[in-house]
Amino acid sequence: RFQACVYFASVFQAMSCGIHYLASVFMAVTPNFVCGFPGNVSSVLFHNSSATSIEDIWTLWTSTENYIVAQLENGEIWELDQCSRSKREVGLDLAYEYKGNKSVFPCSDGFLYDDTKWKSTVVTQWDLVCDREWLAKLIQPTFMLGVLIGALIFGDIADRLGRQHVIWFTSAGQFVFGIAVAFTFDYYSFVIVRFLLAMVSSGYLVVAFVYVTEFVGIKARTWASMHVHAFFAMGIMVVALVGFLVRTWWVYQIFLSIATLPFVLCCWMLPETPFWLLSEQRYEDVQKVIDTMARWNKVSAPCKVSELCSVQQDDLASGRMGDDDTSSAKKHNILDLFCNWQIARRTITVWLIWFTGSLGYYVFSLSSVSLGGSEYLNLFLIGAVELPCYIIACVAMDKLGRRNTLIPFLILSALICVLIMFIPQDFNILIILANMAGKFSIGVAFGLIYLYTAELYPTIVRSLAVGSGSMMCRVGSVVAPFCVYLRSVWIFMPLVANVYFFQLLVGIMALLSGILTIMLPETLGKPLTNTLVEATEMGRNKKSCSEKTPPANSGAASEKIEMFGQERISADK
């Protein structure tokens, strides 16, 4: 009962992380627009349709290459493009086609935006179009950069000051910075506050995962850790729902941030984890937490913490006399992940899977709003498809093995990406279904790579391997927005490849990752290795590795390292 309350209270806040991570898909939308009128308008002409105001023209707008002809009250006739406007020198008749002389002027009177879908976005608020368009495209990458830095900073602070304090601070920070984003006064303050919001959101996700992992028993740890992702996906679904209901960006941001408030009001009740208190030798506080758990769960503690600690200290003392593994472990660096060809090939493959998983996850999510049909429904389905994804991943990992689950889903995601390129653009439903299938398959691979990485490397470099993989993952999340934006600027590619270039990129990398994964060893049911020699031997001779008996003290070490590997699962997001 106690662990269930702690778990669901903590992962509830993970929804707000999913909310803030994907909020920009509707907040930074660029609607149809043209240059502003240089005066009062008497009539407007678009192809063969005429109107008295531009609002009546937007329903006919079909391409960015279109332009609007407007006649002012003083008789002047102007052609309004998206990033320039032209004054006709000769001719008083209002006609759409004109071959006479024109004088080109910049958009000094601002822009006119189509507000039929979105009443206001950050793009329309600060005119992030034309020569300022690149500023709009930096909104999501700078947020992901904050995610990267926040995971590093708050992960370290949580080890030093405790999980409880970081959860308090990051929860309050998500609410404060989330509301502050809605009241920023210019683009640069908006980006800075969003960067801080990304840091605390990422920090919470990392530390909350560690927090629930240290409270949940080992039998439920795989399922509990995987389903932190499920609550993140529910946050994506909330973004779609709020985006559909609220069309003004700052009101939209406030409603999204309010989702954080219930947890902020009760997070101070969550206790510190016994694992961290024990590492700080705060035995009395550990005993208080255990007694509280015992009362909630209506069980009795079998012994006192002080008795366990005395036995543990004796074991550690005897262990230090026999070897110096503890001191030697501190001397390892990232070069040890390339100590021989077997380990180096394994590292390159694992890094590629981490990068591909993160890239595919965010490419499919961010691009879902531009697939045609209802962008709100598309994003909602992209979030909903993750829920069964993690259930299948958990079952397959335990039944088929890590490698045998990873390979087919990586190759399947590659095939789906290729299939999307051959679906005609008019078949929106098929494109959306294929995009959901791609998100599903890459989600399975993305979810299980964390545990698989921890099992592939020995104790002395396991944390280093998981940490380096997590860094590659965050690099993928920073690159993903640029892959989505690339399709609008890569004018030298054929039309079909231009539209679906980012799926092609993900598909190629997923296929390559799936092929390379065949050379990785299976780790299901095998003891964790402790040295690089054992890890290398696992790749060369799977049978001898599986039959090898682990050292006597490997059980406790494996338990700690498994926990550390699981701690990193949500850091990439």
Q: What is the pLDDT along the chain (573 residues), one digit of tens a residue?
A: 888 888 888 888 888 888 998 898 888 888 888 888 777 777 787 777 776 667 777 777 766 667 788 888 777 888 888 888 888 877 667 777 777 788 888 888 888 888 888 889 999 999 898 888 889 888 988 998 888 888 778 777 777 788 888 888 988 899 999 999 999 989 999 999 999 999 998 888 877 877 887 787 767 766 777 778 888 889 989 999 999 999 899 999 999 998 878 888 877 888 888 877 877 778 788 888 888 888 888 887 666 766 666 655 555 455 544 444 444 444 567 777 888 888 888 889 989 998 888 888 888 887 777 676 788 888 898 888 888 888 888 888 888 888 888 999 999 988 888 888 777 777 778 888 888 888 888 888 887 887 788 778 876 676 567 767 777 877 887 777 776 665 554 434 433 444 456 667 788 888 998 999 988 888 877 776 777 888 888 766 544 333 343 443 444 444 443 443 444 434 444
Taking the model in full, what pTM does it have?
A: 0.77
pLDDT digits (tens, 9 = 90+) for 294-349: 888 888 766 676 666 665 555 545 554 444 444 444 456 777 788 888 888 888 99
Residue 232, CA distances (Å) to 201, 225, 240 in order: 11, 12, 13
> What is the pLDDT at residue 503?
67
Radius of gyration of the chain (CA): 28
CA end-to-end span of the chain: 29
- Name the DSSP class of 457: S
Largest CA distance in the chain: 99
Q: Which helix (H) or strand (E) holds 104?
A: strand 102-105
The burial of 159, by beta-carbon neighbours within 10 Å (0-12 exposed, 13-18 middle, 19 or more buried), is given as middle
CB atoms under 10 Å from CB of 366, counted, come to 22
Residue 362 buriedness (CB in 10 A; 0-12 / 13-18 / 19+): buried
Q: Which residues pair with 111 in a beta bridge?
A: 35
- Note whether 513 and 410 are within 8 A (CB): yes
Neighbouring CB atoms inside 10 A of 393's CB total 23
Mark residue 533 as left, alpha or beta (left: phi above 0; alpha: psi -120 to 50; beta: remaining).
Answer: alpha
* 359: nearest Cα among 201, 182, 504, 229: 504
111 within 8 A of 33, measured Cβ to Cβ: yes
**H or E stretch covering 105:** strand 102-105
Cα gap 525→543, rounded to integer Å:
12
Task: DSSP letter for 369, please.
Answer: G
Q: How far apart are the C-alpha atoms of 534 and 300, rounded to whole Å?
A: 41
Point out which residues pair with 49 in neighbouring strands.
46
Residue whose tokens read 């995610």: 147
Return d(Cα 414, Cα 417) in angstroms, integer. 5
Bridge-partner residues for 77, per DSSP? 71
Q: CA geometry: angle at 190 spanning 188 and 193, to 5°?
A: 110
Closest residue by Cα to residue 275 from 222, 223, 217, 333: 217
Q: Which two tokens stand for residue 419?
A: 């299939």
3-state secondary structure at position 350? helix
Structure tokens at 129: 């179009």
C-alpha 407/C-alpha 414 separation (Å) is 11
**H or E segment at 131?**
none
| Per-residue confidence (pLDDT) for residue 468, from 0 to 100 | 74
Positive or negative torsion for Cα 468, 470, 476, 481: negative
CA distance 567 to 211: 8
Q: In the chain, what are the domains?
A: 1-30+120-270 (1.20.1250.20), 33-116 (no CATH), 336-538 (1.20.1250.20)
pLDDT of residue 549: 38
Backbone angles phi, psi at 426, to 5 degrees: -75, -20
Q: Which of 267, 261, 260, 235 is closest to 167 using CA atoms?
A: 267
Rounded distance between C-alpha atoms, residue 403 and residue 447, angstroms: 13
CA angle, 342 then 345 then 350, to 5°: 125
Residue 61 in tokens? 């707008």
